[in-house]
Amino acid sequence: MSSNGDDPRRISRANRVFSYSADHAPCARIEPGERIIVETTNAFGDQKLEPGDTLDQLDFDACDPLTGPLFVEGAEPGDSIAVHIEHIELIGTGVQGIIADFGILEWDRLPLHFFTPENGRIRWLRGIEIDVRPNLGAMGVAPASGSVPSIEPGDHGGNQDAKHVCAGSAVHFPVFHPGALFYTGDPHSAQGDGEVSGTAIEHSLTGIFRFIVHKKTAIKGPRAEDADYYIMMGIDFDLDRAMRLAVQEVVTFLISEKGLQPGYAYSLASIAVDFHVAEAVDQTQVVTGKIPKSIFKKVKKN
């Protein structure tokens, strides 16, 4: 990994927990702007797996580990933090299978298959190759109250399984506790929006992250951006409500950040914004609204 002239600290995946909570002791304290190498473990938690095994052999209490929490100096309730993902590097091999009755459809278990990327591609089956596009399925901060299992998304972030959370993107989170207490995990080498069978190609990785604190810029929940899009999120147990929340977040962003009147913001959401189901298998649903940055080249905030 390139460190652009500095030497980022490494946060080991040995700093492993299984929930988002303000009760976990920070594994590191980091300064705003500091660049950190964070190691993550695939969703199966390095359990010993062999080709031909099925996922019902797993200890599910050991699945979906998170690395963290990281205490971001200066972050206070009412602020937000932006986590810039500068670089991602895969570790080892990827693995995928089907967990019976876990995905969208009722399906038999599929034995595990292991994949080693070659030249940016994964040879999935004969005649089928998939582009490698590493992403982090889980990123978030300590929730406002209580403890949230690592598999669940919410206002704190969590297991969003949004494939745009990749190198070159930044993800914004509200701050509910001093230091924000940031966690990440559930890394993939390839995933489709929805992750409809319940698993992507689960693949440990390391990433270089840079943390920025935005003072007194409270947001309701996670949002993201990359070079091309502002990405709003709606999160709810009900898919219809998740869609409604995503649309509302898009409209609110267009009003507050781009100076549009409410009616025009809602209209623009219909003619220029794409909505995707990012998460559909972990009980809580996630819908993203992708606002193209290109449409604002000649638009200035009032």
Domain count, the chain: 2
Domain check: are 195 and 267 in the same one? no
Q: Which residues contact 14 (CB under 8 A, 6 or more apart)?
A: none
Summarised one tens digit per residue, pLDDT across range 210-263 is 999 999 999 999 999 999 999 999 999 999 999 999 999 999 999 999 999 999
Predicted pLDDT of residue 100 = 67
Same domain, 194 and 237: no
Between vectors from CA 18 to CA 168 and to CA 110, what angle results, nearest 5°? 80
DSSP state of 291: E
186 and 135 co-located in one domain: yes
Mean pLDDT, the chain, whole residue set: 92
Listed range (20-29, 104-113, 128-137, 184-193) with the worst mean pLDDT = 104-113
Instruction: Note the helical H segments in 116-260.
Output: 239-258
Residues 169-211 pLDDT 10s: 999 999 999 999 999 999 999 999 999 988 899 999 999 999 9
pLDDT at 302 over 80: no
Looking at the predicted structure, is the pLDDT value of residue 41 above 70?
A: yes
> Percentage of the chain with pLDDT > 70?
96
Q: How confident is the model at residue 48 (pLDDT cuts 50, 70, 90)?
A: confident
> For residue 24, what pLDDT is reported?
98
- 198 and 234: one domain? no
The packing angle between helices 239-258 and 262-272, to 10°, is 120
Let me know if residue 79 belongs to a domain.
yes
- Report the pLDDT value the prediction gives residue 49, as an integer from 0 to 100: 86
Provide the pLDDT for residue 109.
79
| Residue 282 predicted with pLDDT over 80 | no
What angle is formed at CA 55 by the lines to CA 52 and CA 57, rounded to 5 degrees?
90
Rounded to the nearest 10 degrees, how much is the dihedral formed by the CA atoms of 168, 63, 179, 287?
A: 50
Answer yes or no: do 211 and 292 share one domain: no
Q: Based on the fold, state whether residues 198 and 126 are members of the same structural domain.
A: yes
What pLDDT, on a 0 to 100 scale, did the predictor assign at position 4? Answer: 46
- Residues 37, 182 within the same domain: yes
Report pTM: 0.92
| Helix, strand, coil percentages for the chain (3-state, nearest 5) | 15, 40, 45
Q: Is the pLDDT of residue 3 over 50?
A: no
- Domain that includes residue 169, residue range: 9-221
Residue 140 has pLDDT above 70, yes or no: yes
pLDDT at 1: 41
Output the domain CATH number for residue 181. Answer: 2.60.120.580
Same domain, residue pair 193 and 233: no
pLDDT of residue 298: 63
The answer to whether residue 301 sits within a structural domain is no
Whether residues 175 and 292 fall in one domain: no
